[in-house]
Structures are given as C-alpha cells and as structure tokens.
Amino acid sequence: MAFDPADFTVEEPKSIPVVLLLDTSYSMSGDSIETLNIAVDAMIKEFKKAETMETFIKLSIITFGSENGVDLHTELTEVSNIGFQPLSVHGATPMGTAFKMAKAMIEDKGIFKGRDYRPTIILLSDGEPTDDWKDPLDNFVNSGRSAKCDRMAVAIGSADKSVLKKFISGCENPLFYAEDASKIIDAFRKITMSVTMRTKSVNKNQTINIDNELDGGDIDLDDLDNFKI
C-alpha cells in the first residue's frame, strides 16, 4: 500500500458556535451602543481565555439597524482570530430579516458543521421590530437546525419583551432584562459565563441555566469578576 500523507491529517477541535443578533437601530444611540460595544469586546476576550485544546468557540455577529438594514458584521470565526470592530447605529429595527439571515447561515452545513456542538444564539434589542417578524421567528424556533439551538435574549429598556420571550421559548434561561444601558454589562457577563462553562463540561451540548446555577452555588462567583471592562 502506497504511503499517502493525506491519511495522517488531524481534525480540528470541535467548536461551540455563538451568534449575536444585535439591535443597532437609532434608538440604541448614546450610552446603549457604547456599553454594548464594551460588553461584546469583553465577551470575546473571555471566550478567548476559555478555549481549550479540545474545544474552541466560534462567533458571528449579525446587526439589524445598519445602513443596509441587516449586516453580517462578523462571519462565523474562531474567536482567537477576531479583532472586534465597534458597532454603530443606523435606521429602524428589521428584526425579522435578521432572523432570516441567521437561520440561512445556521442551516448551511458548510458554515455550521454537523460535528460541532449545539450553537448558542443571543438576541438583544431595545425596541419593537419594524418589519415582518412573526413567520421568520416561528420558522427560526420551530423548524430545521435553528430549532435545536440554545437561545438567549436581552431586553433593554422599552424593548418588546413579548417578542424576545417567544424567541427563547423552550430554552433554559429566562429573559435577561437591562433596565438601562448600564445593565447590559451584567447581562452579557451572565451569558458569557453560560457559554464558557460549556467548554469545561463533560457534555458540551448541555446548556446551562445561569440563574439556577448561580443560585445553587455551582458556579464560582469569582469567575464573574473576570469579565473585565
């Protein structure tokens, strides 16, 4: 049998994919977008520290409210290779179109590999959708590969909490509520912990209810202090 070096390739480690669906409409101007930029940058730094030789984290960012309506701000990329570019505000709140983009990406097996762990999808908004969102949301949470994702949501101020609660229906974590911009950091700190704890778990597809785990004392509260801003 002839020697073929291709027989000795090593598979890359499995990843935990994370997608941020972020409201960048005009209503996020000022403290909200500034604090969100700080929170996302800190999340990426913590994800980088949490990676192991066996498991790494990939991140994608989809924004709704950009000049183009919806933008793929960051393609699904290993966090160690991401240099975060700050978000800016523009336009309305086309959340339904963001659901469509996210679903199309998740269903693409060339982007979301079948061998990877259960993806986590995080939605943040401070207002109401301004486009058709009901059917796109229903498709996202009830059909195909996107229905199997872990979903979390952060409501800021006057966000339409009914829409965000539908987004997380059937998932472990409650709706995270930030009364104002200053609370965005706290919400992202909890979400970051829920993802980084999965890198340490035996079953990395198992999602973590961060409120229950914190209340039960299973997570070291000092770990939350590592979320530097």
Question: Tens digits of per-residue pLDDT, 2-39?
Answer: 888 777 666 677 899 999 999 999 999 999 999 999 99
The answer to whether the CB of 88 falls within 8 A of the CB of 33 is yes
3-state secondary structure 133-157: CHHHHHHHHHCCHHHHCEEEEEEEC
Q: Which residues pair with 154 in a beta bridge?
A: 124, 176
54-112 pLDDT, tens per residue? 788 999 999 999 778 999 999 999 999 999 999 999 989 999 999 999 999 999 999 99
Give CA–CA dist 191/17, Å, rounded.
14
Lowest mean pLDDT among 3-7, 92-96, 128-132, 219-223: 219-223
d(CA 80, CA 121) in angstroms, rounded, equals: 19
To the nearest 10 degrees (0 to 180), the angle between helices 134-142 and 95-107 is: 30
Q: Which of 196, 189, 178, 200 is nearest to 228 (CA)?
A: 189
What pLDDT does residue 29 have? 94
C-alpha distance across the termini of the chain, in Å: 57
Is CATH 3.40.50.410 the classification given to domain 12-224?
Answer: yes
| Residue among 139, 78, 106, 118 at smallest CA distance from 21 | 106
